[in-house]
Amino acid sequence: MGDQERIEIGLEDADAENQAKARALSSPLRMRILRLCAFEARTNKELADLLGVNPGTMLHHVRTLVQTDFLAAEPARVGRQGAREVPYRATGLSWRTSMPGGGPVLVETFLQQIAHLDPDELDITWLGLKLNAEHKAELEDRLYALANEFKERGPDADGETYSLFTALHPDENPPSALTP
């Protein structure tokens, strides 16, 4: 096999891997699993109970996330009734994985996450901005840097869990006929 053939096979493998990762992140349920396993390792049964899903269905989703390296198994432990349990923890790979076309999945995941919150528990900011390309790029860079700074700090031992969702998008707000 020549070098060119090896390169082409490597590209095909990388493409298949990227497609598998994209499919793994295409489910709001799997996104919620990753959130639940971000700070604490959880078993298939614990995840099924927390998300109100059949354990068999949950096992399919957990295996998908393990096969794509979004979840990692921790050492098995003995459960409450003496059964062997395998806890899983999110690897953080989803933070660095591009999700082209993933906006609807993230929005649906967000809506599922907040569905049962008391309105007073949700702090929302929504504002309109009018930015040139340079200032838009600056805003994007600064938002990413700030979010990444807090992510890289790691969890506070005495902290409570929160979720942060931001969306920067073009606003369908055409100029007024009176605007010069």
- Give the contacts of 58 (CB within 8 A, at least 6 positions apart): 33, 44, 45, 47, 48, 51
Q: Give the global pTM.
A: 0.76
Q: What's the pLDDT band for 8 if we cut at 50, 70, 90?
A: very low
> Which fold is adopted by the domain 3-153?
Arc Repressor Mutant, subunit A (1.10.10)
pLDDT at 98: 79
Q: What's the pLDDT band for 7 if we cut at 50, 70, 90?
A: very low
Locate the domains of the chain by residue range. Answer: 3-153
Separation of alpha carbons 74 and 85, rounded Å:
10
pLDDT in tens, 106-160: 899 999 999 988 989 988 888 889 999 999 999 999 999 999 999 889 899 999 9
Task: Report the candidate in 84, 62, 87 with the shortest Cα–Cα distance to residue 73.
Answer: 87
Question: Residue 36 burial (CB < 10 Å; 0-12/13-18/19+)?
Answer: middle
E strands along 10-120, which residues?
A: 42-43, 71-73, 77-78, 84-85, 87-90
Give the DSSP H or E segment for 173: none
Q: Specify whether the CB–CB gap between 88 and 72 falls below 8 A.
A: yes
